[in-house]
Amino acid sequence: MEMVMIHAKDHKTGYLFDPWDYLGPKRRKLIDESWAGLFRKHILNELPVDKLARFFTEGFGRPTKELYTVLGVLLLQQTHDLTDEETIAQLSFNLQWHYALDIMGESDEVKYMSPKTLWSMRNMMMEKGIDADMFRQSTDKLAKVFDVDTSRQRLDSVHIHSNMKRLGRIGIFVRSIHKFLVNLKRQHGDLMDTLPKEVVDRYLPEKGLVCFSMVKPSEAERTLGIVSKDLFDLTRCFHDHPEVMSMSSFLLLLRVLKEQCSVSQTLEGMPVEVGVKPAREVSSDSLQNPTDPDATFDGHKGQGYQVQVMETYLDTKDQEIREKTLNLITHVDLETACKSDCHALIPAIESTSARGVGPDEVLADSLYGHDENCEVAKEMEVAVVSPVMGTLKEGSIGLSEFSLSDMGVVIACPEGHIPVWTKNKEKKHTAAFEPARCSACPLKATCPVNDGKKYRYLRYKDKEWRIAIRRAKEHTDEFKEKYRWRSGIEGTMSEYAKKTGVKRLRVRGFLAVRVCVTLKAIGINIFRATAVRKAIRAQGGNSGIEKSVLGLVIFVLKKLYGKIHRRVEQIFSPQAHHNYFELKTVA
């Protein structure tokens, strides 16, 4: 008999007898209305088990853990912000987890997972990007179940930190050298004897690094010069050693040298002396900590990463309607901290539109709504509602105060003077005004119209005209009423941080951080959907697919009742009794 090595249970097939009846009606209702009930009903079957199964071979090796349980556990770990030990304990003893994951039985096989298995499965998910598939499939399912209106969405970013210490420039040098020496001792211990003893004694002991964190400000510059020279000397020692040069820790030394130092060279191109670059010349994408080479720096928020989040919203003050409407996170994307928000809008629209949950209108702050983004979004039939970056100088007159046609042609100046002529060519516009009228104008000192040979001219481009139109709209009640709903995403960021701990993660590295932020976003959608479902049921309604499922259940029950009723009538009919006694007499 061939043994199946890929273990994935069919959770769509129901039980002949409900195994959860022992809970009783009250406890059963509580667990069904909790996140566990929603997870079991709508999320569990959407987990991309087929993507994880590709790591294993049918008929070869040991049987896997039940794969729906594996992916479910990884998702619930991030949703509830748990350590590996806490996750294993919840899987072993938490009834809500058992109900959510549809786990029956009391064996270790179904209710226990070793730390090594949890770690290995998480790495598999990370390598193949299964977390992104989980987000897409679960989000799209919730959008369908709760009939989410995705036409209006809003976008913002949140800064997060991985599990790394904040280091200054001295700390970056020292930790990079320490990491290299530790790895060199492990992999090429014989080469340690070729290094100066004072360098090894200074950086190799873990306790010795404490002294570098206690450097006085007056000594910082001199200490920075010493550690930079030591790092430079180490790179020179092994610059022609192929095995050492391939080590990741040695590559970090070279990266720090390139980003933090300036090296003078001889005429033959040989490096001879190293100096430390001024802080202002160090790029924001430079190494922040050797333990997390992917983390970068943001001038306002510091070291770490940033997450782009887009969600649906409802523009109504009716509390009853708001409680029954799901605000769904439709897009989540991890970026380096040094990346500007202006690059995030179009990918967010493309990602959601490809899945059928794209917006018709997006609310975002000024960084997202620069002119190029607005034009590209317009071609995608998406309106971007965003303030224009920058402000006019106090007392100055902008193009937005001129009367403009729908084609960007100046009709009149702020004082009502009509131009002598206008010209539009290759996205450039010119309006000419009579010098005599302008000379007597009280706004002449602050007016953008400039003197020319024959007339006074106002010259501007299509981009300036579009910005002027948008700047004028910012002062209208319509814009203010619409844009006021953008601030609601700040509450989402707060919920994201408080419920899932996304701002301070336990992992390091871009891929590991990406898995965490993606699964935690699914967790927020689950919590929100649970609250909405509870509100709908409390008000005596059903949502989306629940109506059709309920109707199907009623239909099946009626059919079964009809068959059972007819069978009972046949069994207890007079003719049945007569036949029974005839057969008994013959026997």
Q: Which of 345, 393, 351 is nearest to 370 (CA)?
A: 345
CATH of domain 135-164+303-386+489-543: 3.30.420.10
**Please, which residues bridge with residue 361 across strands?**
152, 383
Measured between alpha carbons, how far is residue 387 from residues 107, 307, 333, 480 in Å?
Answer: 59, 21, 23, 10
What pLDDT digit, counting tens, does each position of 69-120 carry? Answer: 999 999 999 999 999 999 999 999 999 999 999 998 888 888 999 999 999 9
CA atoms within 13 A on the CB side of 75: 33
Going from the C-alpha of 402 to that of each of 93, 405, 430, 457, 564, the distances in angstroms are: 70, 10, 13, 13, 81
Give the residues of the chain that fall short of pLDDT 70: 1-4, 59-61, 208, 266-271, 395, 541-587
Distance CA 530, CA 42 (A): 11
Give DSSP secondary structure letters for 381-393.
Answer: T-EEE-PPSS-PP
pLDDT of the residue at 449 = 87
CA distances from 344 to 333, 340, 353, 365, 501 (A): 9, 8, 14, 12, 23
The whole-number pLDDT of residue 61 equals 67
- Give the domain ranges of the chain: 1-128, 135-164+303-386+489-543, 169-281, 399-473, 545-586
The per-residue pLDDT for 571 is: 57
- Amino acid symbol at 538: A
3-state SS string over 291-332? Answer: CCCCCEEECCCEEEEEEEEEEECCCCCCHHHHHCCCCCEEEE
Please classify residue 442 by burial: count the beta carbons closer than 10 Å to its beta carbon, then call 0-12 exposed, 13-18 middle and 19+ buried: exposed
| Rg of the chain on CA atoms, in Å | 33
Q: Are 138 and 131 in contact (CB under 8 A)?
A: no
Distance CA 477, CA 485 (A): 13
Place of tokens 């967010």: 348
Which residue, chain included where needed, has tokens 């088990």? Answer: 49
Is residue 550 within 8 A of residue 374, CB to CB? The reply is no
Distance CA 7, CA 189 (A): 45
The pLDDT score that the predictor gives to residue 550 is 53
Residues 376 and 466: their CA atoms lie apart, in Å, by 13
Of 81, 105, 79, the residue nearest 92 (C-alpha): 105
pLDDT of residue 437: 83
